Structure 1
Amino acid sequence: MLLLNLGLLRCLPDRAALTRQEKDADMTKDDTSPLRIGDIATALALLTRLPVRARFERGARAAWAYPLVGIVISGLAALPTWGLLALGLSPVFAALAFLATTVILTGAMHEDGLADCADGFWGGWDRDRRLAIMKDSQIGSYGVIALCLSLATRWAAVVMILSQGDAATQPLVWALPLMVAAVVSRATMPALMSALPHARRSGLSHAQGRASMTTSVIASALAFGVAVGLLGVTGLFLVAMAFVAALACAKIAKAKIEGQTGDVLGATQQIGEVVVLCALTL
């Protein structure tokens, strides 16, 4: 797990290369404070639309709890999914219910990041233009294609996972793998927050600050524990797959915009989830 995080760090510029303003931002959100239970509420408030009261001043220090948000989202999304399966509906429709619930719970935040990155990375000819496109609320052709491919792949994978065994009477057979996908994919976000500098001096990611290596490792360890605890050796494979995907995302972001934004973090979560879901169908 530590090697995966170090791999992400090695693909980026040294922290000493940060501008003075970026250093000041890191200092104001010093990541050395002990973990707090309130960080879970902060993570839920940041990554979902759930009505949670949180203290946002802890910023990136709450990023260790991002994987736990995956447990909440997947658990809530499993309820309507199980209900449809119990009524005898096809996994085709149950999978739609699962995806729709996750999108509603998150406000499509990560999907929006994926679309913005697709438009910006491949629609702009230089760093400044790419960042400008990513900030634009309008979606372009690259974004539409990325969203369609992501949603279609996730839907197909979830359908296959729900089709294994008697999904209506044995919900844990599919609910646990889907939970692992949600948890592991969100553990990649703190890793990028730690490894990549901010690409711009504004936005949600910059406001939260830059996570420390310790925060990233804790998040990764949580994901590792959940994945291996629920799925055994398969979980270890899924964690590795997600972080390999995150490493690829980090390299692309470094090449395109020299850092990360909230959109990059969201896109990384989406790509990580797609990779894990596809791996679960093997």
Structure 2
Amino acid sequence: MTMRTACLTIFAMLAFAANSLLCRLALKDGHIDAASFTALRIGSGALVLALIIRARGARPLAAGNWRSAWALFVYAAGFSTAYLGLSAATGALVLFGAVQATMIGYGLYAGERMTARQAAGVAIAAAGLAALLLPGLAAPSLPHALLMAAAGIAWGVYSLRAKGAGDPANATAGNFLRAAPMALALGLAWLPWSRIEGAGIVYALASGALASGLGYVIWYQALRGLNATTAASVQLCVPVLATLGGVLLLSEPLSWRLLYSAVAILGGLALVILGKARPRQG
């Protein structure tokens, strides 16, 4: 890995973790409602991506499709709403687990077969997630956790569809532009109950324009210098970064329950990612 690729990768991982922190920061003190946050995030991300694609001499809507745009919208709306009741750490952990579970599940459906090590990894990760969500004083809000899981499934679907979409930056720009009217409609529908403060607007725009728009473009640049296993592995640090940011910047508690669950979930997923899947025999 070159120094340029390493720097791009680090920036992209920080941007992905920042999405959780910015959303939680905006919502936890009521600076903005979830629907307005979603609209501003998708809208500003679409604008930045469109400008980048225009600067490259391409048409922003030339790539992407409506199905992927719907998956993107469901992810963004579920993500924002779930963070009304989850800490940055818990939300990032549930989201990441659901994304990986969706992609692993699709691989099995498509004919991949797990090694014993991968199967053990799935079992460990599942046990960690179950331990996190089991009822108790330290358990997160189950409805919000399920909503974040749904957002993760939607993002997993979006990621799977993006694999065959040609230039990923162009496809992402087209999908954001198609998702923007959906997010705007959600924001307008929620307008009678909306709450929008200056700080909330700043957090939402930073999430959309910087952490999402620029973050995705930088990640796609980094991917050119990473193999598939490394690309999947480095994403394991995103929930860790979100957890550290939540503790240091948002004064969120770090419980033993969350810590043990995080080790089990991320460790189990690492076993799956680093294992070698075998193609299914006729």
TM above 0.5: no
Q: TM-score, normalised by structure 1?
A: 0.32
Higher relative contact order, chain-length normalized (CA < 8 Å, sep 6+): 2
Q: TM-score, normalised by structure 2?
A: 0.32
